[in-house]
Chain A
Amino acid sequence: MINKTVANVTEALKGTEDGMTFMLGGFGLCGIPENAIAELVRLGIKDITCISNNAGVDDFGLGLLLQKHQIKKMISSYVGENDEFERQMLSGELEVELTPQGTLAEKCRAAQAGFPAFYTPAGYGTEVAEGKETREFDGKMYVLEPAFKADFAFVKAWKGDEAGNLIFKGTARNFNPCMCGAATITVAEVEELLPAGSLDPNEIHIPGIFVQRIFQGDTFEKRIEQRTVREKA
C-alpha cells in the first residue's frame, strides 16, 4: 500500500504558490473542498486561476477568496448568486471564462485521461466557439476544446483511506471525481479517513492512483444554498 496520508491541511497545500492554476470540486456549495479554501485564504495565495463550476456565495466557498481579491481568473459555467463576483467581473478586476458545464467537466476528465482535446457540439455557433477550431462529423458541427492544465486539484470526498481511495456521497460527487488526477497534484479532503482495507474495493469511486495527498478535514460546515422543503401532509 502506498500511503497518501498527510497530517493536516497545511501539509496538504505545501507547494501552492501565487499565480498557480487550481481546480476545485463542488456544485454550488455542495461538495466543495472547504478546508483547502480556508487554508488558501490563510496563506494569502494570490493571482489564482480557479477552475470551478461555480464561484461560491459572497461569504462562503470561493466567495471567501474573492473577498480577499486572491483570484485573478475564474473558469466556470455559472456564477450567479454572488454579488461581489459580479461586481469584480463587470468592473474588469476579475477575468472570467465562462464554459458550458459539460465541456468544463470533460476538460477535467480529458486531463485526467490523457486526451489533449476533444470535440463537443456544445457552444457551436455561439460566442463560446469564437476562435476555436470546428469540424463536421456525420453532418453535425463540433467545437474542439483543449484539456485543462492545472497545478493542484482540490477535491472533497465523503470517505477515503490511507491509499487515497475515495467514496463520494450524493450529489456532493459532481466535479470532484473528474478533477482527481487532472492536475499535477491532487489533494483530497475527506470527512472520514480510514485505514487501508476498511473500504470495500468494489465500492471505491476513485482509486488512490489519482490522488497524491489525502487528509481528514477539521470541519465541514456543508452550508445549504437553497433550503427547500415540503409540508407534511
Chain B
Amino acid sequence: MLDKNGIAKRIAKEVKDGYYVNLGIGIPTLVANFVRDDISVEFQSENGVLGMGPFPFEGEEDADIINAGKQTITTLPGASFFDSALSFSMIRGQHVDLTILGAMEVAENGDIANWKIPGKMVKGMGGAMDLVASAENIIVAMMHTNRAGQSKLLKRCTLPLTGVGCVTKIVTNLAVLEVTEEGFKLLERAPGVSVEGIQEATEGRLVVEGDVPEMNI
C-alpha cells in the first residue's frame, strides 16, 4: 500500500518531457517533487503563473507570488505571469497537457465529484470544473477509500458532480486504474496489495485482465 508521497511518486511517471502540467491542491502538489530532472516540464497554477518553482527560502517569501493553494512559491527561468482569463484560456483551450487533481468520488464512467458535500462542506469548485471539462488527460490522485472505509470508486457518484465522463486515469494508495467503457480497468497493483484487496475496496465495476503487475516506483 502507498502513502500520499507514494501516490505522487507513481503519478510523476506519467509526466512526460515537454508537458505543461496543472497540479491541484493536496496529493497532486507533491507530484512536482518526484518528476525526473532530466526532462523539461512546466507547472501551471491557475491563479496566473507558468513555470512554478519550489517554495522560497525563509525570508524570501513574496506576498505577490503564490500558487492556487495560496502558498508562497518561486518561479523558474522561463516563467511567466498572466491574468485569470488568459490562465483559463490555456486550460479551456487545451494547451495544458496534463491535469492532476484530487477527488472525493470517481464513477466507473469517468464522472468526478470533488467540490461539495451538501449541508456539510461547501468550499466551491475553484478551477476544477473548468479543468475537468476541457483537459483531455486527467489523472485523479486519491485514497481508494474514504475515512469511513467506503470505496471512492463507485458505479455512480453520490455527491454533486464536478464534471461528467472526464477522468482518464486514477492512482490510489492501492492501484493504478484506467477508465474504460467496461469500467475501471486495473493496470497496476500497489506493492503488497492483491487483486482481491483492490476488488474489495472498489464498488464500481473492476476489469481485471490476466496478471496485473505490481507498480514499479
- Using A27-B48, A127-B160, A177-B83 as known contacts, say yes or no to A171 and B65 having CB atoms under 8 A apart: yes
> Across the interface, do A170 and B65 meet the contact criterion of CB distance under 8 Å?
yes
Question: In the complex, which residues of chain B have a beta carbon less than 8 angstroms from the beta carbon of A230?
Answer: 54-57
The complex places the Cα of A173 from the Cα of B62 at a distance, in Å, of: 14
Q: Please tell me the size bucket of the interface on B.
A: 35 or more
Question: Which residues between 165 and 183 of chain A lie within 8 Å of chain B, taking CB atoms?
Answer: 168-178
Closest chain-A Cβ to B25's Cβ sits at a distance in Å of 10
Closest chain-B Cβ to A194's Cβ sits at a distance in Å of 18
> Across the interface, do B70 and A123 meet the contact criterion of CB distance under 8 Å?
no
Interface flags for A70-112 (1: CB within 8 Å of B; 0: not) read 0000001111110000100110000010101111111011000
Question: In the complex, which residues of chain B have a beta carbon less than 8 angstroms from the beta carbon of A125?
Answer: 111, 161, 163-164
Interface flags for A208-233 (1: CB within 8 Å of B; 0: not) read 00000000000000111111111110
Question: In the complex, which residues of chain A have a beta carbon less than 8 angstroms from the beta carbon of B3?
Answer: none
Q: Is A53 an interface residue (CB 8 A)?
A: yes
> Across the interface, do B129 and A100 meet the contact criterion of CB distance under 8 Å?
yes
The complex places the Cα of A108 from the Cα of B85 at a distance, in Å, of: 9
Question: In the complex, which residues of chain A have a beta carbon less than 8 angstroms from the beta carbon of B84?
Answer: 27, 53, 101-102, 104-105, 174-175, 178
The complex places the Cα of A81 from the Cα of B71 at a distance, in Å, of: 13
> Across the interface, do A28 and B129 meet the contact criterion of CB distance under 8 Å?
no
Stretch at the interface among B11-19, B120-128, B147-155, B195-203: B120-128
- Using A126-B129, A126-B161 as known contacts, say yes or no to A101 and B122 having CB atoms under 8 A apart: no
The complex places the Cα of A207 from the Cα of B46 at a distance, in Å, of: 24
Q: Is A144 an interface residue (CB 8 A)?
A: no
Question: In the complex, which residues of chain A have a beta carbon less than 8 angstroms from the beta carbon of B122?
Answer: 79, 86, 89-90, 96, 98
Question: In the complex, which residues of chain A have a beta carbon less than 8 angstroms from the beta carbon of B49?
Answer: 170-171
Question: Which residues between 87 and 118 of chain B lie within 8 Å of chain A, taking CB atoms?
Answer: 87-88, 91-92, 111
Q: Is A117 an interface residue (CB 8 A)?
A: no
> Across the interface, do A105 and B70 meet the contact criterion of CB distance under 8 Å?
no
Question: In the complex, which residues of chain A have a beta carbon less than 8 angstroms from the beta carbon of B173?
Answer: none
Question: In the complex, which residues of chain B have a beta carbon less than 8 angstroms from the beta carbon of A96?
Answer: 122
Interface flags for B183-196 (1: CB within 8 Å of A; 0: not) read 00000000000000
CB closest residue in chain B, given A105? B84
Selected contact of B124 from candidates A80, A172, A226, CB within 8 Å? A80
Closest chain-A Cβ to B43's Cβ sits at a distance in Å of 13
> Across the interface, do A30 and B66 meet the contact criterion of CB distance under 8 Å?
yes
Question: In the complex, which residues of chain A have a beta carbon less than 8 angstroms from the beta carbon of B134?
Answer: 121-122
Closest chain-B Cβ to A188's Cβ sits at a distance in Å of 14
Question: Which residues between 40 and 98 of chain B lie within 8 Å of chain A, taking CB atoms?
Answer: 45-49, 54-58, 60-73, 81-85, 87-88, 91-92
A–B Cβ pairs within 8 angstroms, 6 of them: A27-B84, A86-B122, A102-B85, A172-B64, A226-B71, A228-B55
**15 more CB-based (< 8 A) A-B contacts, given A102-B85, A228-B56:** A27-B48, A27-B84, A29-B63, A53-B84, A76-B124, A90-B122, A96-B122, A98-B125, A101-B127, A125-B111, A126-B160, A126-B161, A170-B81, A177-B83, A178-B85
Rank and list the top 10 A-B pairs by shortest CB-CB distance, nearest first.
Answer: A102-B88, A102-B130, A125-B164, A80-B123, A170-B64, A105-B84, A100-B129, A121-B133, A222-B63, A101-B127
Residues of B at the A interface (CB closer than 8 Å) are: 45-49, 54-58, 60-73, 81-85, 87-88, 91-92, 111, 119, 122-130, 133-134, 160-164
